[in-house]
Amino acid sequence: MSEVLRLVLLVGVAGAAVTLLTALAAWFMAEDRRLARAFRNVLGQPPDAVVIAHGHGCGAAMALGAGQIAVAWNAGAWCLVYRLDELLGAEVFLDGAVAGRVQRGEPRMAVNRGAGTGGEVRLRLLFDDPLHPDFDLVLWPTPSVRRGAPAKAAEAVSEANRWLARTDAVLRRTGVAAVKPAPAPPPTRAARPSAPQQEDLFSGAEEEDELEDDGPPF
C-alpha cells in the first residue's frame, strides 16, 4: 500500500511540475512579452510608448531618449528600427476608409472618438524608407480576448487616436526647423590700423624729410 501511495504522490508531483512549467513557458512566450523583449533589445532601453496588434504578432514602440522608433512582426522575431526624424506621419482607417491622419507639415486630423465601427480599426505608420514606406497594425478585431487587448472597437479607436497625437508631437519636434544646421559665423576680417596711427607714421616721415632738407649750419 505504501508503494502505491508513493507512486500516486510521484505522479501528482510530476503532473504539477509539468503544469507549472507549461504555465511559465506560456507566460514567458506570450505575445506582448516577446514584443517587449524585442523592443528593449533593438532600442537599447525600455520603450516610452508601445502599441500592439494583439493576436497578429505586430507592434510598434518609441524610445524618445534614444530618438528611435521600432516596428516588429512575427511576435518580435523581425524588427526594423528608424530614427524619429524618419517618421513621416500616421493614418487611422475605420472600415477601410481614412478617418484620421497626421503628416509632416500638415495639421492633424483626429479621429472622432464617438465614431462607431463594426469592422476594422487599423493604424498605419509612414516612414521615409523606399523599401519599407509603411507599417500596418490591425488594432481591431482581435482573434481572441487577450490580456491588454481592447475589449471593443471604441477602445481601439482611442488607442489609434493617441498614436496620432503622439506622432504629431514627434513630427513637431523633429521638423525642418529642428534639424536645420546652425548658420555659419560671419567671416573674420583683418584689423585695419587706426587713423591716429596713420597720422603718426606720416608725421614721422615729414619730420625726417624736414631734417634731410635742412642744410648744414654756417
Q: Is 16 part of a structural domain of the chain?
A: no
Number of helices (H), then strands (E), belonging to the chain: the values are 5, 8
How many Å is the Cα radius of gyration of the chain?
36
DSSP code for 157: H
Q: Is 191 part of a structural domain of the chain?
A: no
Write down the pLDDT at residue 146: 67
Q: Is 167 part of a structural domain of the chain?
A: yes
Write down the pLDDT at residue 178: 35
Write down the pLDDT at residue 4: 72
Nearest Cα residue to 165 out of 214, 210, 114, 107: 107
Q: What secondary structure does DSSP assign to 60-125, as a single string?
A: EEEETTTTEEEEEEGGGTEEEEEEGGGEEEEEEEETTEEEEEEETTS--BPPPTT---SS-EEEEE
Write down the pLDDT at residue 18: 67
Write down the pLDDT at residue 115: 53
Write down the pLDDT at residue 192: 47
Q: Is 6 part of a structural domain of the chain?
A: no
Q: Is 196 part of a structural domain of the chain?
A: no
Nearest Cα residue to 167 out of 94, 215, 108, 214: 108
Q: Is 138 part of a structural domain of the chain?
A: yes
The answer to whether the predicted template modeling score (pTM) of the entire model surpasses 0.75 is no
**Dihedral sign of CA atoms 135, 139, 144, 148 in order:** positive
Q: Is 180 part of a structural domain of the chain?
A: no
Q: Is 124 part of a structural domain of the chain?
A: yes
Which cell numbers in the block locate residue 164?
496620432
Number of domains in the chain: 1
- Rounded Cα distance, 186 and 109, in Å: 43
Give pLDDT tens digits along the chain (218 positions).
577 777 767 777 777 766 666 665 555 557 889 999 999 999 999 999 999 999 999 999 999 999 999 999 999 999 999 999 999 999 999 988 999 999 988 888 888 755 556 689 999 999 999 999 999 999 999 887 667 788 888 899 999 999 999 999 999 988 743 333 444 555 444 444 444 444 444 444 444 444 445 554 44
Domain of residue 65, residue span: 29-175
- Rounded Cα distance, 211 and 170, in Å: 80
